[in-house]
Amino acid sequence: MRSCKICLGTEDVRSDGICRCCYDRRQADLRGMTYGKYISKFGHNLGRPVYVAAAPAKICITCGAPLPPRHSKFCSARCNKIFRQRQRRERIQA
């Protein structure tokens, strides 16, 4: 089973190795839009049906991306580092 190069998810991975959500997120960034505004304006670009999960999906507390399997708070080490740096800055300023 293939996994996404960006989020390591295994659902809806395209032939270039990127899942639908990461592709849409990248397209939104290129257009200077948020992910939600992009999806509401253009929809998903792969022509695949959108399935609504029964339970809410976990999201990264730093960037808001869907969490890969076996991750609890952060989607990557980079997001973890950014979050810790923000915490440090807030402690110093307080």
Question: Which residue reads 């029964």 in tokens?
Answer: 54
Largest CA distance in the chain: 49
Write down the pLDDT at residue 81: 94
The reply to whether 11 and 40 lie within a common domain is yes
Phi, psi for 84 (deg, rounded to 5): -65, -40
Chain segment 26-61, per-residue pLDDT in tens? 888 888 888 888 888 877 655 544 444 445 578 888
Q: Are residues 38 and 72 in the same domain?
A: no
pTM of the model: 0.43
Taking the CA atoms of residue 66, residue 71, residue 77 and residue 83 in that order, the dihedral angle to the nearest 10 degrees is 70
Cβ–Cβ under 8 Å, residues 24 and 45: yes
Q: What residues make up the domain containing 10? A: 1-51
Co-location of 69 and 43 in the same domain: no
